[in-house]
A and B are shown apart, each in its own frame.
Chain A
Amino acid sequence: MSTTAEIISRCQTLFEDLTFSYAREWKAAMPGRSVVGYMPFYVPRELIHAAGGLPLGILGGGDQLEVIHGDAYYQSYICRIPRSTIELGVMGRLDFVDAMLFPSICDVIRNLSGMWKIMFPKVKSRYFDVPQNYQDNVGGEFYINELKELRDMLAEIRGTDVTDEEIRGSIKLFNENRRLVREVYAARMKQPWQVPSSEIYLLMRAGMILAVEEHNRLLGDYLAAVAAEDRPRRDNARVLVTGAFCEQPPLNLIKSIELAGCYIVDDDFMLVNRWERSDVAIDGDPLQNLASAYLHNSGNTSAKYEPDQAKKGLYLVDAVKRSAAEGVIFAAPSFCDPALLERPMLQSVLAAHGIPYIGFKYAENSGQMQPIREQAGTFADSIKLWSDQ
């Protein structure tokens, strides 16, 4: 049996590999395979898998990629993820990718979808819209048709139709993946000292790269390895980190929060891994089932409209309660419209529920962690010393 250190070491290697060797090798291993890149926060990976493709999460270049070309395409007031993504494209690091999907998250990623069409005309690319109306006969119908269009695009890449049976098979695998992801998150909520967030982060990032079958095995192995190890428990404050659902924080930022005396007990780093909150139905029309899960059984983030003012932000309060968090850290990338416009609304909801919070900004290549560590440390101290909870 592998140890957590061995498993995480593998994840770290995948995380640091900006040439995406795993995905290249996966594609080369069998004729007819394709790789479909996608950006945060959500795409139906089941369809890519059903079409014989590898869904490859593109979450920018992190803090190890020097961005030269990408900066020439953006003004100083645009966030960093599109710059490093363009850098990856221009430098040929994504030259094996057959198609790119740009989900409906913000105007920057939306416009990047058009830029991709111009800069990489041989690669299929698509802006992937999701409904902001959650009635089955309105938003649901729209979404089913969008899914059909995506399915047909993927079928064109493969050269053969994607069958309902194939999609059902993929849904089963991703249901298993989500179940295991939920289990890992639950384990961390229960014993965060046993399941450090810097490890969870790498484990979940591996899910952006690995084939789902392999990621499922890895998650299972990690859960088994965690159970077999005993790690020291510290008197840390339990915090929830939110706002980091697109451009990712440097790994060092996550480690800094932990080193500052916080256990991260919930986060929104990679929403796609657990967007659907429970299993997607298998029987019946698979596209309808995916649509229904999106409309009625999916997570929350600021790119998703909340029709009911009374419910606005309560998902965060629920997450705080569920994870027994003692405070919330709003960590958002600089110039991130979704996270920064949402933040005051969420903060007012937290304030109304007496939940303490702090906020800061980062970029994926932020290098100076001392201020973060001091801020998080002070927050942890204030929770421990003065919180009523």
Chain B
Amino acid sequence: MSATPVSDAVKEASMLKQKEMIAANYEQLATARETGRKVASTFVPGNLNELIMCFDMVNNLPEINAIQNGMRKKSGGYIMEAEKRGHSEDVCTYVKADLGSLAKGSLGPDGRPLPEPDLLLLSYTGCFTFMKWFELLRQQYKCETAMLHVPYEGEGHSSKNMRDYVVKQLKEEIIPKLERASGVKFDIDRLRENLRESAKAEDDLVWVLESAKHKPSPIDAYFGGVYYIGPIFTAFRGTPDATEYYRLLRQEIEQRIAAKLGPITPDGEMHEERYRLVVEGPPNWTSFRDFWKMFYEEGAVVVASTYTKVGGVYDLGFRHDPDHPLESLADYCLGCYTNRNLPSRIDILEKYVNEYEADGLLINSIKSCNSFSAGQLLMLREIERRTGKPSAFIETDLVDPRYFSPANVKNRLESYLQMIEQKRSGATASAAVA
């Protein structure tokens, strides 16, 4: 085993900071009715946090609640509850975990009830299911709903028409509804200030993600990466807290690079980096730690992942721009990973495999998520063809424990790593012959 167990785990400053931030947000949600704060429910991709903050609203994210319930082993029961109520076994388990949780009183991770939203802010970005999810929630809550339709980048890029359309919707649909739900008048300078703050955090986030180009990588950009993206993908982008979090995180990783340390895992530091992988697709949340352990026990580090781009692709250069506030929000939404067409997603993966000097691509295909999963087998073939590196395919689910088969996943991962070994020894043998 390459990770050293830590009996007395020391939390790093960034971890403590994030924990405080999340607790504070759930506190705001739990006390929203007492404090009079209005609540907006919205999604991670195309999340308009900077805009929501302009209206003093608290941000509640059903996907994150589903993840939290998955990690706390509660989602399985919620999903079955939703299925009992007529939801098909074939559809997204985030949706069913959320609806099942709602049927059971909708408790936050702190055990306190989550408030009903005053506004459902449906940012329809990169996922068809989002639209149905919020229609289902609207049926329950009967509250105001604002729909932001973000066109799909079918041709591999956004167009002026798409951008103008999103900006117009922000002006004519989203902002008026936020004003109405919150009772606060929109102030564009406040939005600019929030966006300025976002850009600072985004710079540091990109630096952190790109630190995985070092050998050994100081981070795991998938399992660790989901913690790193937490603040910027959720209720904190545009806050000084998020800026501070990424500053702290960057400092810690700078130290790890200087000390030539590998990533921190739940069992302590990983010492030997044996395999460098790129991963496509979201992780499984119900067995998250077991899943991660299968990797670090083998010395496998994820050096780049696409899931950490689902709430915004920053490493290709995009930053929120206070000088073009609404246009910048439009560009952000349009450019989220799953809103990009398949050829663009393949280009990104190829770039990652090459630039991060990875041994290959691993796809974690998620039963629930057609937005990610449909087409992944072609992506796999294309990446193998373009890079000459081996790829592998495993199947799990987001928050449905019935679809996580540890023995199968472990078996496939081990076979894949053996394949990489064989490829390496083949390459060494060829070099020796030459």
| A127 interface neighbour in B149, B155, B172, Cβ under 8 Å | B155
B127 within 8 A of A: yes
A111 touching B154, Cβ below 8 Å: no
Question: B342 an interface residue at 8 Å Cβ cutoff?
Answer: yes
Are B371 and A107 interface neighbours, CB within 8 A? yes
B135 touches A138 (CB 8 A): no
Q: Is the CB of A345 within 8 A of B139?
A: yes
Contact B152 A142 (CB under 8 A): no
**Which of these, A115, A146, A341, contacts B132 with CB under 8 Å?**
A341
Q: Is the CB of A74 within 8 A of B367?
A: no
Q: Report the Cα distance A146→B160, complex, angstroms.
A: 11
Residues in A neighbouring B133, C-beta threshold 8 A: 341
With both chains docked as a complex, state the minimum distance between the C-beta of A294 and any C-beta of chain B, in angstroms: 14
**Known contacts A132-B149, A337-B91, A337-B129; is-contact A117 B168 (Cβ 8 Å):** no
Contacts of B169 in A (CB 8 A): 133, 138
Which of A32-40, A75-83, A274-282 has 4 or more CB atoms under 8 Å from chain B? A75-83
Q: Which of B90, B154, B168 contacts A340 (CB 8 A)?
A: B90
Q: Does B395 contact A (CB under 8 A)?
A: yes
- Interface hit among A216-224, A265-273, A299-307, A376-384: A299-307
Nearest CB of B to A234, in Å: 32
The 8 Å CB contact of B149, one of A115, A305, A312, is: A305
B154 touches A142 (CB 8 A): no
Distance, CA A296 to CA B154, complexed state (A) = 25
- Is A129 in contact with B373, judged by CB distance below 8 angstroms? no
Which residue of A has the minimal Cβ distance to B165?
A142
Q: A117-B342, A133-B169, A138-B169 are in contact. Are A306 and B155 (CB under 8 A)?
A: no
The distance from the CB of B87 to the nearest CB of chain A, in whole angstroms, is 6
- Which residues of chain B come closer than 8 Å to A117, judged between CB atoms? 341-343
CA distance A303 to B132 in the complex (A): 9
**CB–CB A338/B139 < 8 A:** no
Near A by CB (< 8 A), chain B positions 314-369 give 341-346, 365, 367
Interface residues of B: mostly helix, strand, loop or mixed? helix
Contact A341 to B95, CB < 8 A, known contacts A73-B378, A135-B172: yes
Residues of chain A within 8 A of B91, CB atoms compared = 337, 340-341
Q: Contact check, B132 vs A337: say whether CB atoms are below 8 A apart.
A: yes
Which chain A residues lie closer than 8 Å to B164 at the CB level?
A: 141-142
Interface residue from A104, A115, A340, A347 paired with B375 (Cβ < 8 Å): A115
In contact, A111 and B135 (Cβ under 8 angstroms): no
B64: Cβ under 8 A from any A Cβ: no
* B147, B152, B367, B382: the one within 8 Å of A77 (CB): B367
List residues of chain B with CB within 8 A of the CB of A112: 374-375
Q: Is B108 close to A, CB under 8 A?
A: no
Q: Give CA–CA (A131, B395) in the complex, Å.
A: 34
Contact of A107 among B136, B155, B370 (CB under 8 A): B370
CB contact list, A129-163 vs B, under 8 A: 129, 131-133, 135, 137-139, 141-142, 145-146, 149
Q: Could you give, for residues 341-362 of chain A, a 1 whenever the CB lies within 8 Å of some chain B CB and a 0 otherwise?
A: 1111101100000000000010
Contact of A129 among B85, B88, B95, B152 (CB under 8 A): B152
Structural contact, B138 and A309, CB atoms closer than 8 A? yes
Residue contact B142 to A309, C-beta cutoff 8 Å = yes
Q: Which of A105, A303, A309, A342 has the most CB of B within 10 A?
A: A309
Residues of B within 8 A of A119 (CB): 378
The answer to whether A348 and B139 touch across the interface, beta carbons within 8 angstroms, is yes
Contact A341 B136 (CB under 8 A): yes
Q: How far is the CA of A376 from the CA of B215 in the complex (A)?
A: 63
Q: A108-B370, A138-B173, A334-B90 are in contact. Are A115 and B342 (CB under 8 A)?
A: yes
Tell me, in angstroms, the Cα distance from A133 to B168 when the chains sit together: 10
Output the least CB separation between A41 and chain B (Å). 13
> Is A385 interfacial (CB 8 A cutoff)?
no
Q: Kindly report which residue of chain A lies nearest to residue B133, judged by CB atoms.
A: A341
On whether the beta carbons of A137 and B168 are closer than 8 Å, the reply is: yes
- CB-defined contacts of A126 to chain B, threshold 8 Å: 154-155
Instruction: Indicate if the CB atoms of B86 and A347 lie closer than 8 Å.
Output: yes
Of the candidates B87, B92, B154, the one having the most CB atoms from chain A within 10 angstroms of its own CB is B154
Docked CA distance A102–B373 (Å): 18
Q: Report B372-418 residues with CB < 8 Å from chain A CB.
A: 373-378, 382, 395
Q: Across the interface, do B147 and A133 meet the contact criterion of CB distance under 8 Å?
A: yes
Q: Report Cα–Cα, A348/B142, bound state, in Å.
A: 14
Q: Please, how many angstroms separate the alpha-carbon atoms of A335 and B370 in the complex?
A: 10
**Chain B residue nearest in CB terms to A332:** B88
Closest to A304 in B: B131
B147 proximity list for chain A (CB < 8 A): 132-133, 305, 307
Does chain B have a CB within 8 A of A255?
no
Q: Which of B139-163 contact A (CB under 8 A)?
A: 139, 142, 145, 147, 149, 151-152, 154-155, 159, 161-162
* B128:A110 contact, CB within 8 angstroms: yes
Contacts of A227 in B (CB 8 A): none
**How far in angstroms is the closest Cβ of chain A from B81?**
13
Least CB distance, B423 to chain A, in whole angstroms: 22
Cross-chain contact B88 with A343 (CB below 8 angstroms): yes
Q: Per-residue CB proximity of B71-111 to A under 8 Å, as 1/0?
A: 00000000000000111101110010000000000000000
16 residue pairs of the A-B complex, CB under 8 angstroms, read A73-B378, A75-B377, A106-B128, A111-B375, A113-B341, A117-B343, A127-B152, A129-B154, A132-B131, A132-B147, A137-B168, A138-B173, A142-B165, A145-B161, A309-B138, A337-B91
Beyond A102-B154, A337-B132, 6 extra complex contacts between A and B, CB < 8 Å: A75-B376, A107-B129, A149-B161, A302-B132, A307-B145, A335-B90
- Cβ-closest 5 pairs across A and B: A114-B342, A127-B154, A341-B132, A142-B165, A132-B149
Residues of B that sit less than 8 Å from A by CB: 85-88, 90-92, 95, 124, 127-129, 131-133, 135-136, 138-139, 142, 145, 147, 149, 151-152, 154-155, 159, 161-162, 164-165, 168-169, 172-173, 341-346, 365, 367, 370-371, 373-378, 382, 395
Interface residues of A (CB under 8 A from B): 72-75, 77-78, 82, 102, 104-108, 110-115, 117-119, 126-129, 131-133, 135, 137-139, 141-142, 145-146, 149, 302-303, 305-307, 309, 312, 334-338, 340-345, 347-348, 361
